[in-house]
Amino acid sequence: MRNFPVLVEPFVLDKDDPVLALALKLHEVTERVTAGEFYEYEIELLHDSIIEYLEMRKNLRSLHPNIFKRPKPKHHFFR
């Protein structure tokens, strides 16, 4: 996941693609969660990023119900 943006960039045709934005938001959340240490202000940023990720996923599920089925188990831990 750490190298995801570098690996995907050559294949991206539309930089405004909402699915790409969702993947990059998940990358951001993953980077923050797996960081070696947190500063106090980063906790609020992580919270906001998680809420934004869940909202983006919910919106994409309504647009693409065949691709974004029910969330996998453990998504509820984000709340």
In a domain, 56, yes or no: yes
Q: How far is CA 66 from CA 44, 49, 69, 77, in A?
A: 33, 25, 6, 23
Cα–Cα distance for residue pair 70/36, rounded to 1 Å: 31
What would the DSSP string read from start to end of 25-75? HHHHHHHHHT-S---HHHHHHHHHHHHHHHHHHHHHHHH-TTTS-SPPTTG
Residues spanned by the domain of 43 = 17-78
Pull the structure tokens for residue 40: 């106090």
In a domain, 4, yes or no: no
In a domain, 23, yes or no: yes
In a domain, 12, yes or no: no
In a domain, 2, yes or no: no
- At 17-61, the pLDDT tens digits run 898 999 999 999 999 988 889 889 899 999 999 999 989 988 888
- At 53-79, the pLDDT tens digits run 989 988 888 887 777 777 666 665 666
In a domain, 72, yes or no: yes
Number of domains the chain is built from? 1
| The model's pTM | 0.78
Cα–Cα distance for residue pair 66/51, rounded to 1 Å: 23
